[in-house]
């Protein structure tokens, strides 16, 4: 698989099969992903990779928590800026619309939409979760480094025929996630990433995810 093919075939998968993932493949991917770049080579990413009974324990605990605190509790960063607007907010809404349309969930079907959202807690059926965190004192440049590492992992997973969905939603319960994962409060929880094999036929994995034109986001100078 070429890098272009890995980029083109990566998408956020929201329905996985129950096919287990070989730990040796994950180790290979994670070893290779250590080549991801980072400012000053600080390599600020940390992660806990979870499957089986341990993932079941975390899943059960977070579902319980989501019942008692449905709007989140103890989040340590804002998943979106409070004043998100313009094309950024438009794009955020557009992908939600495209996903709910693919699932034939109408605008007024609040229960159906919430049920879809709740599938996050089951990792969309994926057998593996990668929970990421970094020291609390790290700033935006190091968070950007974490993103580069995550994308490197996601593309290498494609090379192995695997799929993923990054999941910030777990950060709605950031302090609780650290507690569940036994990560000290000198760290901040960033996100999860569901890992497994895609259900190729699921409509939720097959809708078109719109992207801006490069003419709207890149200005060329001096060419
Ligand atoms: C850091 C990060 C966190 C994300 N968190 C979630 C999430 O909690 N739940 C979810 O369904 N999708 C999540 N996504 C997926 C985005 O919605 C998705 O990347 C975006 O809509 C573009 O679609 P694509 O990944 O299919 O190309 C996340 C993506 C990133 C990069």
CATH number reported for the structural domain that contains residue 173 in this entry: 3.40.109.10
* Predicted local distance difference test score (pLDDT) of residue 184: 98
* Predicted local distance difference test score (pLDDT) of residue 219: 97
Residue 186 maps to a domain: yes
Q: What's the CA gap between 136 and 204, in Å, rounded?
A: 35
Q: Total structural domains in the chain?
A: 1
Pocket residue to mutate for ligand 1, from 77, 154, 165, most atoms within 8 A of Cβ = 165
CB-based contact 196:125 (threshold 8 Å): yes
Q: What's the CA gap between 62 and 58, in Å, rounded?
A: 6
In angstroms, what is the span from residue 185 Cα to ligand 1's centroid? 26
With a 6 Å cutoff on the Cβ, whether 169 touches ligand 1 is yes
Span 4-22, pLDDT tens digits: 999 999 999 999 999 999 9
With a 6 Å cutoff on the Cβ, whether 166 touches ligand 1 is yes
How many other β-carbons are positioned within 10 Å of the β-carbon of residue 11?
Answer: 17
Residue 23 maps to a domain: yes
Residue 22 maps to a domain: yes
Span 141-162, pLDDT tens digits: 999 999 999 999 999 999 999 9
Average pLDDT over residues 153-178: 98
Residue 167 maps to a domain: yes
Residue 49 maps to a domain: yes
The residue whose CA is least distant from atom 31 of ligand 1 is 166
Atom of ligand 1 nearest to the CA of 11: 26
Half-sphere exposure of 37 (CA within 13 A, CB side): 2
Average pLDDT over residues 23-49: 98
The residue whose CA is least distant from atom 28 of ligand 1 is 166
Rg of the chain in Å (alpha carbons) = 18
* Predicted local distance difference test score (pLDDT) of residue 170: 98
Residue 179 maps to a domain: yes
Arithmetic mean of pLDDT over the chain:
97
CB-based contact 129:50 (threshold 8 Å): yes
Residue 111 maps to a domain: no
In angstroms, what is the span from residue 219 Cα to ligand 1's centroid? 26
Average pLDDT over residues 98-110: 95
Residue 210 maps to a domain: no
Strands 192-196 and 163-167, sheet pairing: antiparallel
With a 6 Å cutoff on the Cβ, whether 191 touches ligand 1 is yes
Full residue range of the structural domain in which residue 48 is found? 3-82+120-205
Residue 92 — pLDDT band, cuts 50, 70, 90? very high
């Amino acid at each position: 698989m070429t890098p272009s093919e890995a980029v083109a075939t990566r998408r956020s998968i929201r329905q996985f099969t129950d096919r287990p993932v070989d730990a040796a493949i994950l180790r290979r991917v994670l070893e290779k992903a250590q080549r991801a770049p980072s400012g000053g080579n600080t390599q600020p990413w940390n992660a806990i990779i979870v499957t089986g009974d341990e993932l079941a324990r975390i899943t059960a605990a977070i579902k319980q928590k989501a019942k008692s605190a449905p709007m989140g509790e103890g989040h340590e960063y804002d998943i979106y800026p409070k004043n998100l607007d313009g094309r950024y907010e438009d794009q955020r809404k557009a992908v939600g619309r495209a996903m709910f349309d693919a699932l034939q969930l109408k605008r007024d079907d609040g229960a159906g939409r919430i049920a879809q959202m709740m599938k996050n807690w089951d990792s969309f059926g994926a057998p593996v979760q990668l929970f990421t965190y970094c020291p609390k004192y790290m700033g935006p440049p190091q968070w950007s480094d974490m993103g580069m590492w995550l994308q490197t992992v996601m593309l290498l997973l494609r090379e192995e025929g695997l799929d993923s969905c990054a999941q910030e939603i777990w950060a709605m319960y950031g302090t609780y996630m650290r507690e569940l994962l036994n990560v000290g409060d000198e760290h901040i929880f960033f996100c999860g990433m569901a890992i497994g094999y895609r259900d190729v036929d699921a409509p939720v994995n097959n809708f078109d995810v719109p992207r801006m034109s490069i003419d709207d986001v890149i200005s060329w100078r001096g060419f």
